[in-house]
Structures are given as C-alpha cells and as structure tokens.
Amino acid sequence: MLITQSCRFGGRVSSCILPSLFRLFSSSSSSMAKSKFEYVRNFETDDTCLRNCYIVVRLDGRNFHKFAEQHKFTKPNDDRALGLMKRSARSVMEELEDITIAYGQSDEFSFVFKRSSTWFKRRASKLMTHVASQFSSSYVFYWKEFFGEQPLLYPPGFDGRVVLYPSNHNLKDYLSWRQADCHINNLYNTVFWTLVQRGGLTTAQAEDRLKGTLAADKNEILFSEFDINYNNESALHRKGTTLIWEKRDETVVKRVKLPNEEEKDVPVTRSRRRVEAYHCDIIGEQFWEEHPDVLEEDGC
C-alpha cells in the first residue's frame, strides 16, 4: 500500500517520493551556495587594518558651504549646527563602544577606535561606512531637536577616510593638528565676519584686508577696532568638541518590599559609562593626565 502525505499546496505526495525531493533541494541549495559565479568574490581587496594601531575614521561634510548657506547658518558659528554635530557624534559612539575618543569642529568629526578593537574584523570599509551612515542618519533624525520647525531642505552628505596611527604620540599629534586647524579657521572666520557684520566691509574687502595677516594681526584687529578679546570667545568655537567615555554615578529611586510587606522608595546609586563632552585644550598634557584611560599603553 502506498502511503501518502499532505502537500503544502493541498495535494498528496507519495512518501517514497519525499526522500528524492529532499535530495533534490539539498543538492540545489548546495550548488547555489557554491555556484560558478562565486569567483567574483576574488575581486574583493583585503582592507583589514593593521593590528595594534589606532583606527581613525574622519568624516567631513560634503559641500557644506552650500548646505550652510541654504539653511541660513549663523556666521561665523552656528551653535545649533555645532550642537547637532555633537549629538550625531555621540550617537556614533553609543553605537560603537570601541570608539575611545572623538574630536570635532565645524563640519568634521574624527572617531578613534582603540588599538585592540576587533569590530567588523578591523575592515576599513566596514568601519568607515558604519560610522558615516550612523552619523548621517543621526544628523537627519535629530535635526528638529536643534533647528525646531526650520525644515531640512535636503539630506546632508559626509565623506570619510580611514587612517592608522601606531603610537600614542602619533595619535595625540593627529588630534592636536585638528584642534590647531580649528583655532586657525575660527580666528580667521571671527575676524572676517566681524569686519563684514560690524565693520561694514563687503566679503571681498574683508578678504583683501586679511591677506597676509598673522594670528597676532587678527587678534589686534579684533581688539583695537572692535574691543573683542579673542580669548574670551566661546571655548566651543575656539577649541572644538572632544567626546570621551566616563563613568558617572547616577542615583535612581527604586521601590522595594520590606519584610513586613510594606513597600518603600529607596535611592540606589549606580555607576554607568556615558559619553561626556569637553571644550578644552587637548594639545597640552593636562587633558591626557586627567583622563589616562582614553589611551592604551604603547607596546601592548
């Protein structure tokens, strides 16, 4: 007697046919997994980052001069835009906890993965694309938090690069370079827009006025002509934003049941890691002495 079994399509399938069907589909799946087209994987290049090196992913806003103009950013600095950059960077760090420190200014942010990180098997393309996509999507997601009802006219774009630094000295020099760049650019922009907004110059005239000037000359223009001491300007604008992980004690109220069946609110203190922001000098040694856990020991 031929035993049959219900088919998922409502018909009847002979039990003696089932093993043959199983072998057919197993063979088909195996051939699909290793098809004749699989050779194309050989075209992929190995982009594994060298071990025992800090991995730095730096993002820069693409064509952000136009983006800032069309969204009417305040000159020379728009605190809403800087706050949004900081919030987006925090989102990246919270998603990728192997980022030990991040530094940002203007329309750029650098993210430093610790030397021992094995995220995405240290593949540069994976790290860069994940950081860029998380940052970009966060920028759009948190836009209203900083710009209110002002509409986002079109999605922002950020390009990225990956650079390896083998020692603490190299990494600190890299971050110092970016902060020095922040100072140079912000001093120029501060003087430039002060000449335009308060001095009545056109942008072309302001540009001509600043040609060939040194930092001391720019400081003198601000102080003697506009009574502005550059050192008193916002540290956020002069120093940029540094993000690091820190342990902070948080106290929450927890309801507990006592032996006599009564319930009572009891304060409970817990230590949690959070991303904290600093607007301070990172070129000197003080910051690194105060936060020794940011860097790993050389030679590890």
Identify whether the C-beta of residue 96 lies closer than 8 Å to the C-beta of residue 248.
no
Identify whether the C-beta of residue 89 lies closer than 8 Å to the C-beta of residue 241.
yes
pLDDT for res 299:
65
pLDDT for res 6:
46
The count of other CB atoms within 10 Å of the CB of residue 21 is: 10
Q: Give yes or no for a cis peptide into 292 (omega within 30° of 0).
A: no
Mean pLDDT score of the chain = 88
Lowest average pLDDT, out of 102-116, 172-186, 202-216, 236-250, goes to: 236-250
User: Alpha helices of 156-260 — where are they, by DSSP H?
Assistant: 168-197, 203-210, 215-226, 235-239
Residue 135 assigned ligand-binding role: no
Task: Work out whether the CA dihedral 224, 225, 228, 230 comes out positive or negative.
Answer: negative
| pLDDT band, residue 80 (cuts 50/70/90) | very high
Pair of tokens at residue 199: 């001095």
Strand pairing report for 241-257 and 263-278:
antiparallel
Mean pLDDT, residues 33-55 taken together: 89
Pick 24 or 199 by higher pLDDT. 199
pLDDT of 5 above 90: no
Cα atoms in the 13 Å half-sphere on the side-chain side of 225: 15
pLDDT of 257 above 90: no
pLDDT of 35 above 80: yes
pLDDT of 233 above 70: yes
Q: Give burial (CB, 10 Å; 0-12/13-18/19+) of 38.
A: exposed
Mean pLDDT, residues 85-101 taken together: 97
| pLDDT band, residue 262 (cuts 50/70/90) | confident
Residue 65 assigned ligand-binding role: yes
pLDDT for res 255:
76
Pick 136 or 297 by higher pLDDT. 136
Pick 100 or 259 by higher pLDDT. 100
Identify whether the C-beta of residue 66 lies closer than 8 Å to the C-beta of residue 56.
no
pLDDT of 74 above 70: yes
DSSP 3-49: -EEE-TTSSEEETTTHHHHHHHHHHHHHHHHT-TTGGGGGG----BP
Mean pLDDT, residues 183-206 taken together: 97
pLDDT for res 34:
77
Percent above pLDDT 90 for the chain? 74
Cα 257 to Cα 39: distance, rounded to the nearest angstrom: 64
The count of other CB atoms within 10 Å of the CB of residue 51 is: 11
pLDDT for res 33:
60
Cα 233 to Cα 227: distance, rounded to the nearest angstrom: 12
DSSP class of residue 296 equals P
Residue 61 assigned ligand-binding role: yes
Whole-structure pTM value: 0.82
Q: Which residues, listed in sequence order, are joined to residue 61 by a DSSP beta bridge?
A: 158
Residue owning tokens 């046919």: 17
Mean pLDDT, residues 5-25 taken together: 47
Task: Work out whether the CA dihedral 220, 221, 224, 226 comes out positive or negative.
Answer: negative
Q: What angle, rounded to 10 degrees, do the helices at 168-197 and 203-210 form?
A: 130
Residue 237 assigned ligand-binding role: no
- Pick from 61, 71, 79, 81: nearest CA to 142: 81
Pick 116 or 300 by higher pLDDT. 116
Residue 133 assigned ligand-binding role: no
- Pick from 235, 265, 236: nearest CA to 251: 265
Residue 64 assigned ligand-binding role: yes
pLDDT of 165 above 70: yes
Residue 106 assigned ligand-binding role: yes
Residue 287 assigned ligand-binding role: no
Strand pairing report for 54-61 and 12-14:
unpaired
